[in-house]
Structure 1
Amino acid sequence: MRPVRGDLAPLLAGAATAVGAAGALLALTDSDSPLRGPLTLFLLLAAPAAALAAALRGLDPFGRALASLAGAVAVDMLVAQAMLALHIWSAAGGVVAVTGLSALVFLLVAVRRPRGRTERERTS
């Protein structure tokens, strides 16, 4: 049986969520696992990138991926700079702050997205 092209996207999204959750768990529990660094880095890049990609729906796929990845790096740097300036830096605090900002962007995108028909369907 041949898989349909669209069937792989939810599987990859679920796997990325599981990897990010494992990275958050390892960072928040201060684990000594060798996977702590790579999984936490994945979370710190993937969470804001996915949130920004959801907000940038109008761009073509390559432009959206590039802009969301650059935005994710900017969000990470801004959170780190703010925490350092306020003298409250911690790895766990950074993970919580970046994850919270990403969740907030996802929430704002979900609230702003119109329900029902799309704009293209309304104008035609």
Structure 2
Amino acid sequence: MRTIRVKTSPRDVSPLLAGAATAVAGCGALLALAGSDSPLRGPFTLFFLLAAPATAIAAALRGLETFGRLLAAVAGAVALNMLVAQGMLATHHWSVRGGIVVVSAISALGLLLALTRRPRGRTARRQGV
């Protein structure tokens, strides 16, 4: 019987950082939705409000270079948060929990759309070559 080993570089920490960022963002959303009085609620929720839409936007902009994609994703996340807050204030339905839910839903929808549009395998044009 053969043992299959996954070769990873000891310096490749990007999956670890992605997991930690997901955990911090998830804790921020849960702390905000639960109404906790934890001192970590503010920073973790702010991180969630920036990271969730930025991840969805960055997934949709995979054709750009890394720095341009990062800059566009963060700017888009700030713009999305401001649009959600402005829309909720204009309709007199502002609440912290509501804002978290709306930003989560828009981010999840954007990420889902970006992942379903991703081409898998060879395209029809390249198959004949």
Q: TM-score, normalised by structure 2?
A: 0.86
The residue correspondences of 1:1-124 to structure 2 (distance < 5 A) are 4=9, 7-117=12-122, 122=126
Q: Number of aligned pairs? A: 121
CA RMSD of aligned residues (A): 2.1
Looking at secondary structure, tell me which structure has more helix per residue: 1
Q: Distance in 2 between matches of 1:4 and 1:55?
A: 28
Q: Distance in 2 between matches of 1:9 and 1:101?
A: 25
Which residue identity is paired with 1:80? Answer: A
Q: Distance in 2 between matches of 1:5 and 1:74?
A: 37
Provide Cα deviations, 1:30-85, integer angstroms capped at 9, x if missing partner.
00001000000000000000110000001010000000000000000000001111
- Which structure has the bigger radius of gyration? 2
Q: TM-score, normalised by structure 1?
A: 0.90
Q: Distance in 2 between matches of 1:51 and 1:114?
A: 17
Same amino acid, percent of matched pairs:
66
Moved over 4 A (4+): none
The unaligned stretches of length 5 or more in structure 1 are none
